Amino acid sequence: MKLYIGKRLLLVIPTLLGILLLNFAIIQAAPGGPVEKTLAELQGIGTGGTGSSFAGGSADTMTGGDYQSAKGMPPELVERIKKMYGFDKPAHERFWLMLKNYFTGNFGESYYRDRSVTELIIERLPVSISLGLWSTMIAYLVSIPLGIRKAVQDGSRFDVWSSTAIIIGFAIPSFLLGLLLIVVFAGGSYFELFPLRGLTSDNFEEMSMLGKIGDYLWHITLPTIAIVAGNFAALTMLTKNSFMDEIRKQYVQTARAKGLTEKQVLYGHVFRNAMLIIIAGFPAAFISMFFTGVMLIEYIFSLDGIGLLGFEAVISRDYPVVFGTLFIFTLIGLVMKLVSDLTYMLVDPRIDFERRDH
C-alpha cells in the first residue's frame, strides 16, 4: 500500500506539470492578452472583454513588441506595460518563474482585482464546495434507493417510466434547466418563490440561527436542483446494474435456498457487495460534480464561486487567476483520484492495485 501511494504521489508531479504546460502553450496561441487589452483601452478601442478586438496579437507575441494596438503609442509606455504584467520576459522564463512561485505557495496577484489569487480562491471556495457537496449528497440519496428499486423491479412499468424520466433529465443540460427554473420559480414569468441571486439575503447577519439556515436552504434550492437533475442518471443506472449483477450470483440463490426472505437477501448480502463500487466512487463523484457541474450554474444564479471566478478570469485574460485556479483544481483532482483508489481498497480488501502494478 505504501509503495503504491508513493508511486501515485510521484506521478502527480509530471502530470501536473504536463497539464500546466499544455494550458500555458494554448494561452500563448490565444488572441488577446492583458498587455494588448491595456493598450487597446488606452487608445479607446472597445474590447468587450473577449479579446475579439485583439486580432493582430496573441499572448505569445507579447515578448516581441508586435502589438496591433501599440501603433502610434510611445515604445517606452509599451515596454512599461509589458514589464508591469511580466511579459518583458520570454515565454519559457515566465513559465519557469510561475512554477517556482506555485511550488512555494505564491500564486501571484490578480491583474484587475488588486488582490492575491489565494485570497480570491479562499473567498470563493465555500460557495463551490457548498454546491458540490449538496449536489453529490442529494444525488446519492436519490440514486441509490431508486437504483435498488429499479433492479428489484427490472422490466416493470416502474422501471420503464423511471428510466424514461432519467433519460429526459440527463438529456437536459444543467444550465438550460437552471434557466427554466428561474423563468418558472424565480420571478422570470410565472412564480416568485425563490431568490434569483446569491446564497444568502442582504440581511443574513441579522437573522437568528434558524433564520440563517432557512435562508441558506431557500437560496440554494434551485441551483442544487439544476445540478442534480442532469447528474444522477449515471449513478442510478450504476446502482441498478451493480445490484442486478449481484442478484444473479450463486450465493444469492444459496441464501434464498436457506429460507431467507427477499429483504434479508437483498440488504443482508446483496447490498453490502453491490455498494462497494458506489461507495468507493464517492470522492471522484464529488470532485466531478464540484469541478464540472457548477460553473454555468454559478454564472446563471450569480453565485460567487470558483467556477464563476475562473470564467471571469478567462474572459478578462486575468492569467494569474486562470493558472492559479487550474493548478489548485488539478492538484485536488489528482489527489482525490488517489483517495478514490484507496477507498476501493479499503471497502474491498480483494482489490490490490500494488500487486496489479507488478
Q: What pLDDT shows up at residue 50?
A: 42
* Residues 6+ away with beta carbon under 8 Å from 264: 255
Task: Give me the pLDDT at residue 66, please.
Answer: 55
With beta carbons less than 8 A apart as the criterion, state whether 315 and 50 touch: yes
Grid cell digits, residue 189: 414569468
Positions in the chain whose pLDDT score sits under 50: 47-65
Cell numbers for 262, please give them.
Answer: 427477499
The C-alpha cell of 152 is what? 428489484
Structural domain count of the chain = 2
User: 59, 83, 107: which is the final residue of a domain?
Assistant: 107
Q: What's the confidence (pLDDT) of residue 157?
A: 92
Q: How many whole angstroms separate alpha carbon 127 and alpha carbon 33?
A: 28
d(CA 259, CA 91): 72
The Cα–Cα gap between 20 and 330 comes to 9
What's the CA gap between 138 and 127, in Å, rounded? 17
Query: Does a structural domain hold residue 333?
Result: no
What was the pLDDT predicted at 71? Answer: 62
Quick check: is 326 in a domain?
no
For the record, the C-alpha cell of 29 comes out as 496561441
Do residues 103 and 249 share a domain?
no
Distance of CA 111 to the CA centre of its chain: 24
Say yes or no: 20 and 129 in one domain. Answer: no
**Residue 45: predicted pLDDT:** 59
Place of cell 507579447: 62
At 250, which helix (H) or strand (E)? helix 250-257
What pLDDT sits at residue 160? 92
Find residue 109's DSSP bridge partners.
116
Looking up cell 444522477, which residue turns up? 232
Predicted TM-score of the model (pTM): 0.73
Q: Give me the percent of the chain exceeding a pLDDT of 90.
A: 7
Position 161 scores a pLDDT of 92
Residues 173 and 295 in one domain: yes
**Quick one: how many helices (H) and strands (E) in the chain?**
18, 0
Mark whether 168 and 308 lie in a shared domain.
yes
Q: Are residues 42 and 145 in the same domain?
A: no
Distance CA 351, CA 292 (A): 29
Q: Which of 17, 65, 2 is nearest to 39 (CA)?
A: 65
**What is the model's pLDDT at position 57?**
42
272 located within any domain: yes
Q: How confident is the model at residue 18, as a pLDDT?
A: 92
Q: Do 286 and 185 share a domain, yes or no? A: yes
| 144/241 same-domain check | yes
